Structures are given as C-alpha cells and as structure tokens.
Amino acid sequence: MSKETNDKAIKQLMTKVEEQKSALGTRRRYVLNTNGIFKYDTSTYFNINTISDPMNFAKALSFLISQEANFSEACDRLGIKDKTWKWYDYTIKEWEDDFKARIEQIEYDEKKKKFDATKQKLSTLVSEEARTEMELESIQKSLGL
C-alpha cells in the first residue's frame, strides 16, 4: 500500500475510534447505597471502590444469596413471618446495585483505555504530512471554521 493509502486508512480508523469513544459518553458517577465496605466476616472484607475484578462481586453476591436463602429457610422452620434480611444493615438489593454500578465503571474504564491505546497506536503510524493535516483540521474545528 502507498503512503497516501495508508494515511487515508489510518485517518478513517482514527475517526471511527473517536466516534466510538464519544459514544461511550462520560463516566457515570454513582452514590453508594451501602457504606462501600463489603464484609464476609469481621476479618475478611473489601472496599467496593477499589475492586477491579468483577468476579469478586459475583463471589460476594453468591455469598449473600446463600445467606439470604438460609435465613429464609430458618424463618420458615421457626414460623417467623417477617423475613426481612440484611447484611451489615443493608439489603441484598442495595449490595447488588452497588456491585453493578462498580462493574459498570470498571467496564467503562476498560473501554476508554482500549480506545486511547488504539488512537495512540494509530497516531504513531500516520505520516508527518497527514499528522500536520489532521492537526490543522483539529484547530480549524476548534475555532469553528
């Protein structure tokens, strides 16, 4: 392929990456429903905001589901009607919502990082002439010309 053909393909790819990055939008902020500290017990816990592997949330939610099921069965056996179950003062729904919100942030960060890396790689491949042309287009766009 010629230099011009390569530059054209690179510019098209950069435009596509920018479109996808823009479609990603801004990172959603969320307010925790819980205190943000999930405890299996008094010595085993994690801060929701510091976790980067969604599997930790799946394990925690499966733990909560089994605890809630055991509690419900115990209430049934004892004839207790009010089966309101909470883990460290929060419902399973509140924990689950917090886990989902954090997973959404993790996925957003991964996608953005991928787009940034792809754009960086493409910009190293483009020729000097095309880079100058793209910078001029960018400046014109920012000036509304």
Give the Cα separation of 145 and 83 in Å (integer): 65
Percentage of the chain modeled with pLDDT above 90: 59
Q: What confidence category does residue 130 fall into, taking pLDDT thresholds of 50, 70 and 90?
A: confident
Mean pLDDT of the region 115-131? 85
Give the Cα separation of 139 and 86 in Å (integer): 56
Range name among 65-69, 82-86, 93-97, 122-126 with the lowest pLDDT average: 122-126
**Residues 66-87: tens digit of each pLDDT:** 999 999 999 999 999 988 999 9
DSSP strand pairing (45-47 vs 37-39):
antiparallel
**What is the reported pLDDT for 129?**
81
Instruction: Supply the mean pLDDT for the chain.
Output: 91
Q: Which residues pair with 90 in a beta bridge?
A: 87
Mean pLDDT of the region 90-118? 95
Choose between 34 and 12: higher pLDDT.
34
**What is the reported pLDDT for 143?**
86
- Reading the block at residue 74, the tokens are 């115990």
| pLDDT for residue 1 is more than 70 | no
**What is the reported pLDDT for 131?**
79
